[in-house]
Structure 1
């Protein structure tokens, strides 16, 4: 506890840097990375608690997380490409300034998916999960995914 002020300065500095560099989009990225990490940790805990932990399954999970990150990067690059086209091709104008759209939508989709998985993992670890939380995550997932299927 003797270095608590140093840690506060570091955490505040990182938060300020993320906000300054990326604004609200940066916080979506932070939430995405945090949710992926928490999902991987809780998934590992579930597997260990059931005696089913496997390094090959853990590796597959990490590859899945890397694939998700690549999809987010592709969406953000696509946003950049659209913005460059709109700025540099004469005759194409929109009634609003385009900065990002696809990146945040993909990030929110992955965050909602990860939250659902984290909730499932918490339930598998024995935590009581309120029905309203399960319903809210399911509803958000369907809204973001654009599906209207009922389970």
Structure 2
């Protein structure tokens, strides 16, 4: 492949991602795009952990991806409903932040499955899990 075509492809993808990012940030603040990045990181590290431990499965990956798409649809619906009914954005951000925490915990667990020393992050996760269990 020609070097100019590669550069053009990278610029095209960058432009598309930047346009979508700008649209999302302008409409919903930073919580929603942060969640999208955390979801992508969790999915990628989940695939890495599955490959490293011999448990890589396309059906498990597909199911996980579909759950993430559902969460994005749910949160988008919360934002829209809140905007129409309440005229605010705080509830949608709150729900989004809750899912960001869930994704962070899963991301760190994937690191543990890969054998990464998580240091103090283990303590943070323990506290988050404890609070999530209502203790």
TM-score by length of 2: 0.76
- Asked if 1 retains the 8 angstrom alpha-carbon contact of 2:79 and 2:91, the reply is yes
- Name the structure with the higher helix share: 2
TM-score by length of 1: 0.69
- Asked if 2 retains the 8 angstrom alpha-carbon contact of 1:18 and 1:26, the reply is no
Cα deviation 1:79-134 (Å, max 9, x = unaligned): 11322xxxxxxxxxxxxxx521221011001100000000000111111011x322
Partners of 2:80 and 2:55 lie apart in 1 by 38
Aligned residues: 127
Q: Report the secondary structure of 1:52's partner residue.
A: coil
- Aligned twin of 1:21: 26
The change in CA–CA distance for 1:119 and 1:39 in structure 2 (over 3 A counts) is same
Cα deviation 1:51-92 (Å, max 9, x = unaligned): 111111111111111111122112112211322xxxxxxxxx
Match of 2:42 among 32, 39, 42: 39
The change in CA–CA distance for 1:19 and 1:44 in structure 2 (over 3 A counts) is closer
Partners of 2:73 and 2:25 lie apart in 1 by 23
1:48 aligns with 2:51: yes
Residues 13-22 or 45-54, more deviating: 13-22
- Aligned twin of 1:122: 111
- Aligned twin of 2:65: 62
Partners of 1:115 and 1:54 lie apart in 2 by 22
- Aligned twin of 1:136: 124
